[in-house]
């Protein structure tokens, strides 16, 4: 009795990519009009991530607004803690974006798997995020969608900022450059944005960084975004809760409160964040500067989801759902939000 042998065939796009030196691997993430695949580049001699976007299925606003904006930023940025773009290819109705491969997934997955990040490690990772944002802001780029799902990790768990679909460039570095567009996720949005007040884009990033730091050291969200009205009220009343069951140092709490400051004129700037005692107390031997070279040192490691929202090609990531009992620490005063005019 003979055994039938199933013949393996390549799709047209796989043949096209193979001619260009790319061997396509497993699917890392997939959405309604895009998927991210692992691939090996013969030219680069290493693994890469390839985002494949179907232009026929992608919505018009993504094709005409979010995708061009992201590619514009990725083409010009060059920083060890920002995901690197290698090449953009087009074949028939598809776009192939070849990027640095982040082998350990995203920060949200990392925290869901491991729980609270020890503060020494959190300082290291958060400092890398700060350095990436300093670089972006010095180059007049605001990310406007910083969240754990958009912070990828290489094989050494170095931070790699990704997903620039909501990024905005600006010419005036002063707070006179305002935006009215609501961007990103409500859970990471500053109160002035949730209230529809015009905002200075870099301050959007800074507030989101405070939420990210809170998630790092608490493994939970600082605010419940299931009720936006209550969430805004908690923000305006400076209600930041910390779990009784988790030990968070007073220095970390102080930094988080200064970043999650409702008054935009008092919210910490990036230089103030980097100069805070919690940030300057890294242990000897730790280097939060340029990331290590990950290349293929751990080629068999777990592959991570690369992207987080439909606005970035439809690749979905989960949300942090952990709920904890918290002891609310409230600062009462008569200050209100200072709108930027």
Mean pLDDT by runs of 10 across the 341 residues of the chain is 44 85 92 92 96 94 91 95 96 93 94 95 97 96 95 96 91 69 84 85 93 96 88 86 80 95 93 97 56 39 32 37 35 31 24
Domain 107-294+320-330 sits in CATH 1.10.510.10? yes
Is 51 annotated in a binding site? The answer is yes
Residue 113 CB: number of other CB atoms within 10 A? 10
Please tell me the distance from the alpha carbon of residue 53 to that of residue 306, in angstroms, as a whole number. 14
pLDDT of the residue at 178: 75
What pTM did the predictor assign?
A: 0.79
Is residue 205 among the annotated active site residues?
A: no
d(CA 106, CA 162): 10
176 and 204 in contact (C-beta within 8 Å)?
A: no
CA distances from 328 to 221, 223, 230, 248, 325 (A): 13, 11, 14, 14, 9
Residue 243's DSSP bridge partners are 326
- The pLDDT value recorded for residue 128 is 98
Check 145, 154, 205, 312 and give the catalytic one: 145
Domain ranges in the chain are 12-102, 107-294+320-330
User: Is it true that 12-102 and 107-294+320-330 share their CATH fold?
Assistant: no
- 131 phi, psi to nearest 5 deg: -60, -40
CATH fold of the domain at 12-102: Phosphorylase Kinase; domain 1 (3.30.200)
């Amino acid at each position: 009795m003979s055994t039938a042998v199933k013949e393996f065939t390549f799709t047209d796009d796989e043949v096209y990519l193979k001619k260009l030196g790319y061997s396509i691997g497993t699917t890392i993430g997939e959405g309604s009009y895009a998927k991210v695949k692992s691939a090996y580049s013969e030219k680069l001699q290493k693994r890469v991530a390839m985002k494949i976007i179907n232009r026929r299925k992608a919505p018009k606003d993504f094709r005409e607004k979010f995708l061009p904006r992201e590619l514009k930023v990725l083409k010009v940025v060059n920083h060890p803690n920002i995901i690197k773009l290698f090449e953009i290819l087009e074949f028939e109705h598809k776009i192939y974006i070849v990027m640095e491969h982040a082998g350990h997934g995203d920060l949200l997955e990392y925290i869901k798997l491991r729980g609270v990040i020890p503060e020494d490690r959190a300082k290291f990772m958060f400092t890398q995020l700060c350095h990436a944002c300093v670089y972006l802001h010095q180059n007049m780029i605001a990310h406007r969608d910083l969240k754990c799902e958009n912070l990828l990790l290489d094989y050494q768990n170095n931070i790699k900022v990704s997903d620039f679909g909501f990024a905005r460039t600006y010419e005036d570095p002063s707070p006179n450059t305002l935006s009215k567009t609501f961007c990103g996720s409500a859970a990471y949005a500053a109160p002035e944005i949730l209230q529809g007040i015009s905002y200075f884009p870099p301050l959007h990033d800074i507030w989101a960084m405070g939420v990210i730091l809170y998630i790092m050291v608490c493994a939970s969200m600082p605010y419940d975004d299931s009720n936006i009205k209550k969430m805004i009220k908690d923000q305006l009343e400076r209600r930041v809760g910390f779990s009784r069951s988790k030990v968070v140092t007073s220095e970390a709490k102080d930094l988080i409160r200064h970043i999650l400051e409702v008054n935009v004129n008092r919210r910490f700037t990036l230089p103030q964040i980097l100069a805070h005692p919690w940030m300057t107390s890294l242990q000897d031997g730790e280097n939060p500067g340029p990331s290590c070279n990950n290349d293929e040192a751990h080629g068999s490691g777990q592959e991570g989801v690369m992207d987080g929202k439909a606005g970035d090609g439809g690749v979905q990531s989960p949300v942090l759902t952990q709920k904890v009992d918290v002891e609310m620490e409230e600062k009462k005063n008569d200050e209100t939000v200072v709108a930027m005019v």
